Amino acid sequence: MYGDKAGNIAWWAAGKLMKRADGVDPVVLIDGSDFKQDPQGFYDFKDNPQMENPSSGFLYSANNQPDSMSGVGLYPGYYVPEDRALRIKALFEEKEKFGISDLQRISNDVLSPVTPVVARSILEAIRVDVKQKSPAHANAANLLSTWDGNHHLRDRAPVVYYKLLYHILRLSMQDELGEENFKVYLSTHVMKNSVLPFIQNDSSVWWNDVNSRDVVESRNMILEKAFEQTIAELKEQLGSNQDMWDWGRVHVLEHKHPIGMKKPFDIFFNVGPYPVAGGPEVINQMGFDLNGEGVYRVKYGPAMRIVMDMADPENSRSILPTGQSGNVMSRYYYDQAMMYNTGKFRRQKMNRPLIESNRSGYLTLFPLKKNKLFLFDVP
C-alpha cells in the first residue's frame, strides 16, 4: 500500500507469483511424482495485481482476494473472505471527503455485511414451530432475523449466532473429520470462506451423520438440532434473562505474557481480560476460534491502529493494544489498553522539539567492547 502528500495512492502485490499448470490447485496437496504438476516459474513482476490512483479515489486491502492480473485473471491463494473488503468499500462510498475523525470511526467499525445473510439463511431452513417452541426460542430467532451484523458490547445476536454456527458445523462435520481435525478446521480460512455456500447447499453430503445407520440426516434436521442445543446451552451459561446475553460477556481480550501463561503469574504479567467489541471478519477484527464453551477469547486483531493525513503527519493518531514498554514494572506497560479497547486514539509525536519537551527520561547506549553494550536508563 502506498500514499504520499501529493495525493498519489497505489496498491501492488509485492511478491513473486508462481506459474502453475492448468488444473493445479495450490491450496491442496499435489502429486509430487507427476512432473506436469511442478511449478513452471514465475510471472513477470509488472503483471502482478496492482492499482494506481483509481478513479474511485480510495484503495483498500483486507487480506481478501486481490484484483485480477494481466493474462491470468484472479490469482489463487489462501485469502480471507470478502466480508471486511465489502464493508470498507461501502463505507468509503458514503461520501467524497474524509477527515481524521471519519477514519477513526471506520477503523473501529464492527459491522459484518455477511453474517446476517448467513443467520437468515439458517432461520429459513428451520420450521416455524421449532423457532416458536418457547419464548426463548422465539426471542433468539427474532434476534437473528433482525440482526444488522453489528458486534457491539451490548449486542445479543452474535452471542446466539456463533454458538449456533459452532453446533451446525460440529453436527455436520465432526463425524467425518474426528474431534481433533474438526478443531483444526475451525481455525482455517477454508471454514470462513465456506460457511455461507455450505449453509445454502441443502444437498451437501456433509449433512448426513455417517455414524447413524438408520437415518439420513438432512440440512434442516441438523439446523433444528443445533438451534435447540444453542438455546439450551445459552440458558445454562448466561441465564434465562435473554436481555443479559450481551456480546461483552462472552467476547474477551487478554494480552498474555509468556510468564503469565502459568497461574498465578497471569494476575501480574497479563493485561486483561477485557470485554471487547468486534469479532471475526469485521474491520475492527477481534478474531477467535469457534468452540463449544461459548466464551470467545480473542486470538488475533489489530497490532496497532494508525490514522494519518500524509500532508500532515505530525497530527496523525495511533493506539497500541497495551503500551510501549515490555517491562511489566513500567507505567507504560499497559497504559493504552483501555483506550485501545474503547476505540480511542492518541496523537503520534512526530516532531522532535515536541518529543524532547515532553520526555520523562532518556536511554543512552555506551559501547564497551566488540559486540557488547552497556544500557543506562536515566530518568
CA distance 42 to 48: 10
Closest C-alpha to 247, from 224, 280, 222: 280
pLDDT, one tens digit per residue, over 28-51 is 788 888 888 888 899 999 888 899
Q: Say whether pLDDT at 68 is over 80.
A: no
Name the superfamily (CATH) of residues 81-301. Aminohydrolase, alpha-helical knob region (1.10.1400.10)
Q: Domain residues of the chain, as ranges?
A: 1-79, 81-301
**371/366: higher pLDDT:** 366
pLDDT band at residue 377 using 50, 70 and 90 as cut-offs: low
pLDDT digits (tens, 9 = 90+) for 184-208: 999 999 999 999 999 999 999 999 9
Instruction: Supply 379's cell numbers.
Output: 530518568
User: HEC states along 134-187?
Assistant: CHHHHHHHHHHHCCCCECCCCCCHHHHHHHHHHHHHHHHHHHHHCHHHHHHHHC
369 falls in which pLDDT band (50, 70, 90)?
A: low
How large a percentage of the chain has pLDDT more than 90?
Answer: 69
CA distance 345 to 340: 7
Q: How confident is the prediction for the chain on average, in pLDDT?
A: 92
DSSP state of 246: -
3-class SS of residue 27: coil
Cell of 31: 502429486
283: pLDDT strictly greater than 60? yes
Return the minimum-mean-pLDDT range out of 28-42, 99-113, 124-138, 329-343.
28-42
H-helix segments, the chain: 83-92, 100-107, 115-124, 128-131, 135-145, 157-177, 179-186, 189-199, 219-238, 247-250, 266-269, 337-341, 352-357
pLDDT at residue 52 is higher than 80: yes
DSSP string, 288-309: ----SS--EE--B--S-EEE--
Task: Flag whether pLDDT at 378 surpasses 60.
Answer: no
**DSSP per-residue string spanning 306-336:** EE--TT-GGG-EEE-SS-S---TTSTTSSTT
pLDDT, greater one: 355 or 233: 233
Indicate the pLDDT class of residue 177, thresholds 50, 70 and 90.
very high
Render pLDDT for 230-243 as a digit per residue (tens, 0 to 9): 999 999 999 999 99
Residues 6 or more apart in contact with residue 354 via CB below 8 angstroms: 314
Helix (H, G, I), strand (E, B) or coil at 52: strand
Average pLDDT over residues 209-224: 92
Task: Categorize the per-residue pLDDT at 27 as very low, low, confident or very high, splitting at 50, 70 and 90.
Answer: confident
Grade residue 376 by pLDDT with cuts at 50, 70 and 90. low
Residue 370 is given by DSSP the state T
Judge contact between 81 and 192, C-beta under 8 A: yes
